Amino acid sequence: MLDFLSSKQPRILVVGDFMVDHYIWCDCSKISPEAPVMVMKHTKEDKRLGGAGNVYANLQSLGAFVYALGVIGDDESGKFLQEKLNAKFFIEQNRKTPLKTRILSHSQQVLRLDDENNFDTKLELQVIDEFKTIAKDFDAIILSDYAKGNLSEKICKELIHHANALNIPILIDPKGANFNKYKNATLLTPNKKEAMEALKLEKLDKDNLNSAIKKLKSDYNLTYSIITLSEEGIAVFDDKLSVIPAKALEVYDVTGAGDSVIAMLAYALALKIDIIKACELANQAAAVVVSKIGSVSVSFDEIKNLEKASFCEKIKTKEEILNLIKNKKVVFSNGCFDILHFGHIKYLEKAKRLGDVLIIGLNSDASVKRLKGENRPINSEFQRACMLASLYFVDYVVIFDEDTPLKLIEFLKPDILVKGADYKDKEVVGSNLVKKVELIEFEEGFSTTNIIKRIKNDRKD
């Protein structure tokens, strides 16, 4: 799939709030004697495309033909954008092209300074007329809204209406709680917080995700409904809800992850790729970006390397796993694995020797809470899943929300069910559904509960 995508060059138009990201890199080795502040020694600086410009950069890095349309100020930042982008920019007097200056020390952002003046552009008609002239030449359109005034309600509605008339997918990265101006778009990419504000929800979790994402689709008449879930991945509703798990690397900086997501979605939809596969690709793009510092773009080569390197590829849905275990001798075990310790490792290593594939059913956070109490788990389900997936002898990890793995065992139909030797003479859930139950002795002296007790006692001391 990646080879197919990287061999194509879709034509994509980006409209929105174009900005400049200015990075000043410093070393810090002392505190000022004048005030309790750090003394920073300037080492280097650079300017990058920000906002809608970062979307542009991501598309360009993927290999698309990209064109920009927007309004900028008559200033140095505006000139920088004109030099860097293939674009039609309208110059508006008294408008500052947004400039964000970030000061970093040892890969950590210390301070951000914003230089901007936000107001709805008075050049709406010029932007709309230009769009109507050029839109027919593109395979997909992105509206990148950073609430800087370039995407007024009139502009959004006119552009969406015209794109729909041309049957061109139009994707929007929204800003603010008023999604009315985005009605009839192909899709929006709100994060959890933005979706909650738009739908006036106090919470958004597994219990109401399905109803929330359906409401988002119906309220704003979207072709696809999407909510980005940070480290949990991307939720998408077409005919039904699907949650595409995140492809996690170490997170250094989340700046620009949303830009990479919408860029990849547009690239894929421009080539008429299925929406689920498009979201999988968007997750991979985001995983690459958050492992870097600042506003950066992503390439297909980096995504290919991610596919090879990321152990979190082992974290799957039960449907994905079912397709991967055909004609294999499957071993299944389950648990909370809240604090992964030596006892767990030896136990699972022995379990793997019993068959071809070892699958771990992992209790979700909600499930652990019900079983262990309000103060558990210590580590989130995503963190616990990643730790298990990092073990070379674990083939797949699947998270389940019930108190027992019975439904999961019924679905996967493993050959061997593994539990600890303390289950001797006890009923093992799912034992009637498998060919064999194996009880494995635990390493003595290792227990999550005991580890937590020791930590609490040490604190008291």
Active-site residue set: 259
Number of H helices, E strands in the chain: 16, 18
Token pair, residue 446, equals 């290792």
The whole-angstrom separation of Cα 339 and Cα 368 is: 12
Residue 180 is labelled as binding a ligand:
no
53 phi and psi angles, rounded to 5 deg: -65, -35
290 phi and psi angles, rounded to 5 deg: -70, -10
Q: In this structure, are residues 111 and 103 in contact, taking their beta carbons and an 8 Å threshold? A: yes
The whole-angstrom separation of Cα 425 and Cα 94 is: 80
171 phi and psi angles, rounded to 5 deg: -110, 140
DSSP states along 145-184: --SSSSS-HHHHHHHHHHHHHTT--EEEE--SS--GGGTT
HSE-up of 446 (CA within 13 Å, CB side)?
A: 16
Token pair, residue 260, equals 């990479």
Residue 136 is labelled as binding a ligand:
no
Token pair, residue 448, equals 């999550």
The whole-angstrom separation of Cα 316 and Cα 385 is: 10
Residue 407 is labelled as binding a ligand:
no
Q: Which residues are annotated as a binding site?
A: 191-194
Q: Which residues are annotated as a binding site for ATP?
A: 191-194
